[in-house]
Amino acid sequence: MTFADLGLSPELLKAVEDAGYSTPTAIQAQAIPTVLMMRDLIGIAQTGTGKTASFVLPMIDVMAAGRRRALMPRSLILEPTRELAAQVAENFEKYGKNHDLKMALLIGGVQMGDQLKALSDGVDVLIATPGRLMDLFERGKIMLNGCELLVIDEADRMLDMGFIPDIEFICSKLPETRQTMLFSATMPPPIEKLAKKFLNNPKRIEVNRAASTNADITAFKVPVKSRSKKDTLRWFLENDLVETAIIFANRKTTVRELNQSLSRFGFRSSEIHGDMDQSSRIKELERFKAGQVNILVASDVAARGLDIKGVSHVFNYDTPWHPDDYVHRIGRTGRAGAKGRAFTFVSEEDAEAIANVEKLTGSPIKVFGKEDVRVDLSEMLAKAEAAQAPQAAAEDEPREERPARKPRRAREDRPARAPRREQDTPRTDRVTASEERKPRRHRETDEPGKPGEWNGPVPGFLDVGFG
Ligand code: AMP
């Protein structure tokens, strides 16, 4: 199947080609013809499946006919966060470059002046977060009765963030005859109810089972004591061929602390969380996307749905409290066909949360080290290596494909801490001091490994079992 088979206009096909896409993803193949036929749609799909283009592309063709009017947007896309709204706007710019369509972005945290000016000039596509939209609507700065097309994106996230009443209000202000699309990674009962109320005979498209996780992601849980989480994380960052990683923590304070700790240990890390203002969030994100840092410590709100290419690893430093967040978090890796690895740290405090995650995804997550064949392999190799220890030691040179990061500072350069806190101290029963400082090489062949493929030793923390 090609994009040309889906009924898109030649201008759009050109833009898609320029974007470098040759084959529609599963959701695009099913959703695009449906939207072009002006039908309502429920898309059960997580981010990373190409779902944004599945509504943006046909919307551009649907909107191509018709005229703009001041203060009356012709279509509306609701997004739960500013970052997601900005990302959808980028998609519009990319795919709509051969069309004369006007788009406006209504998000909180930025000056309203330009947004109001765009609205009064007339827009074809309005991309908004519910809060800012409600704000402007209540002030009479926007009319919604000319809006023929509505997209509710990331509906389950809207639910988590308490936006459902706002969405119901907004829906009630739109014309009854309109086309509505709702996208959600999962369909909890309140979202089913919302869909029943505001969608008309929708076509239901499901790619990947609801709450399932992407087949391109190898996911593990890592049993670990709370106090050892930092050590364990650093062990993975140094040994799992991490190129780029997003590390999720449940609390903003943990995000900040963790970023500070990683930076102290010489990792090129940065942070993003809900307490930061919009411009700092965007700035940190850009640094990560540009490769100036390769580790981003994040909270859920700040990182929801972000499309960051080539993230080799996701770490759940804490098991997420909301099981849906698990699906969203690990969906940051393994995007658009690339392979990724996701590790969820599970301490005693995370026991209930992981049980909920596994209930939602419908299967237990593999325990790292017990079910990863690469660990068995490395055990064998470790034995083989032990037999040839003197030779191996002589050859132990820095590996070229080491994850790019600054050399660790010498111990004496580090901030004076006496005594060193347990959680910031590499434990010698896991990784010996000399191993820890030396760049590691592949044990198997000394050939560069594929990004994300684990090939290191078995870490000591695996001894902490689930019983
Ligand atoms: P999304 O699920 O919308 O967040 O998209 C995930 C990523 O897939 C984005 O980086 C898109 O640019 C990319 N993408 C979307 N459609 C395609 C396609 N047909 N082929 C390859 N990549 C795509």
Say if residue 129 is in the same domain as residue 228: no
- Alpha-carbon distance 111 to 113, whole Å? 6
Question: How confident is the model over 4-39, as pLDDT tens digits?
Answer: 999 999 999 999 999 988 889 899 999 999 999 999
Domain assignment present for residue 455? The answer is no
Separation of CA 371 and ligand 1 centre (Å): 31
The response to whether residue 55 sits with its C-beta less than 6 Å from ligand 1 reads no
Percent of residues, the chain, with pLDDT higher than 90? 49
Q: Taking the C-alpha atoms of 253, 256, 259 and 261 in order, what is their torsion angle to the nearest 10 degrees?
A: -70
| Ligand 1 centroid – CA 104 distance (Å) | 22
pLDDT at 233 over 50: yes
**Measuring from atom 19 of ligand 1, which residue has the nearest CA?**
24
Distances (CA, A) of 254 to 230, 260, 342, 417: 11, 10, 19, 20
Q: What is the pLDDT of residue 386?
A: 58
CA distance 202 to 413: 62
Domain match, 230 and 302 both: yes
Out of 378, 410, 438, a domain closes at 378
pLDDT bucket at 335, cuts 50 / 70 / 90: low
Among 340, 357, 378, the domain boundary falls at: 378
Q: Are residues 239 and 370 in the same domain?
A: yes
Structural element, H or E, at residue 43 = strand 41-44
Is the beta carbon of 347 within 6 A of some atom in ligand 1? no
Q: How many CB atoms lie within 10 A of CB 160?
A: 18
Cα 91 to ligand 1 centroid, rounded to whole Å? 10
Count: domains in the chain: 2
| pLDDT at residue 281 in the model | 85
pLDDT for 439 beyond 70:
no
224-231 mean pLDDT: 93
Whether 21 is in the pocket of ligand 1, judged by its Cβ within 6 Å, is yes
Q: Can you give the pLDDT at residue 407?
A: 36
pLDDT band at 340 (very low <50, low <70, confident <90, very high): confident
Q: Whose CA is nearest to atom 14 of ligand 1?
A: 50
Ligand 1 center from residue 434 Cα (angstroms): 43
User: Cβ(331) to ligand 1 under 6 A?
Assistant: no
Q: Are residues 202 and 229 in the same domain?
A: no
d(CA 356, CA 327): 12
Question: Higher pLDDT residue, 55 or 433?
Answer: 55
Same domain (yes/no): 45, 182: yes
In this structure, is residue 429 part of a structural domain? no
Indicate if ligand 1 lies below 6 Å from the C-beta of 50: yes
Contact assessment for residue 223 and residue 463, using Cβ atoms and an 8 Å cutoff: no
- What was the pLDDT predicted at 425? 34
Residue 128 in contact with residue 170, Cβ under 8 Å? no
> Based on the domain organization, do 242 and 189 belong to the same domain?
no
Same domain, 14 and 124: yes
- Cα 85 to middle of ligand 1, angstroms: 16
Considering the domain architecture, whether residues 228 and 341 belong to the same structural domain is answered as: yes
Rounded CA-CA distance 305/77 in Å is: 15
Q: Is the dihedral of CA 12, 47, 185, 1 positive or negative?
A: positive
**HSE-up of 152 (CA within 13 Å, CB side)?**
31
Alpha-carbon distance of 127 to 266, in angstroms, equals 40
Partners of 340 in beta bridges: 217
> Any alpha helices (H) in 129-251, and if so which ranges?
130-138, 155-160, 164-173, 189-198, 229-239
- Domain range enclosing 75: 3-206
My answer on whether 52 and 141 are in the same domain is yes
pLDDT, tens only, 376-385: 334 444 544 5
pLDDT band at 149 (very low <50, low <70, confident <90, very high): very high
Q: Which of 325, 345, 378 is where one domain is finished?
A: 378
Tokens of 457: 């030793």
- Given pLDDT bands bounded at 50, 70 and 90, which one contains residue 399? very low
Q: Give the three-state DSSP class for 384.
A: helix
Q: How confident is the model at residue 323 (pLDDT cuts 50, 70, 90)?
A: confident
Is 16 part of any domain?
Answer: yes
**Band of residue 303 on the pLDDT scale cut at 50, 70, 90:** low
pLDDT at 229: 95
Q: Whose CA is nearest to atom 16 of ligand 1?
A: 50
Report the separation in Å between the CA atom of 335 and the middle of ligand 1, taken as the mean of its atom positions.
8
Question: Once rounded to an integer, what is the mean pLDDT over residues 44-63?
Answer: 91
Ligand 1, from 2, 51, 94, 307: best to mutate by most atoms within 8 Å of Cβ?
Answer: 307
What's the 337 CA to ligand 1 centre distance in angstroms? 9
Residue located nearest, by CA, to atom 5 of ligand 1 = 50
Assess whether pLDDT exceeds 90 at residue 327: no
The count of other CB atoms within 10 Å of the CB of residue 264 is 15
Residue written as tokens 């083989």? 384
DSSP state of 72: B
Is residue 409 domain-resident? Answer: no
The answer as to whether 389 is a domain residue is no
Among 187-196, 324-333, 455-464, the least confident range: 455-464
CA distance 443 to 330: 28
- Residue 331 included in any domain: yes
Q: Is the C-beta atom of 304 inside 6 A of ligand 1? A: no
Residue entry with tokens 């889906």:
6
For residues 387 and 73, the model is more confident at 73
Is residue 65 located within the same domain as residue 146? Answer: yes
Q: Which residue in 449, 436, 437, 434 sits closest to 401, CA to CA?
A: 449
Ligand 1 center to 2 CA (angstroms): 15
Cα–Cα distance between 104 and 18 in angstroms, integer?
23
Distance CA 339, CA 268 (A): 22
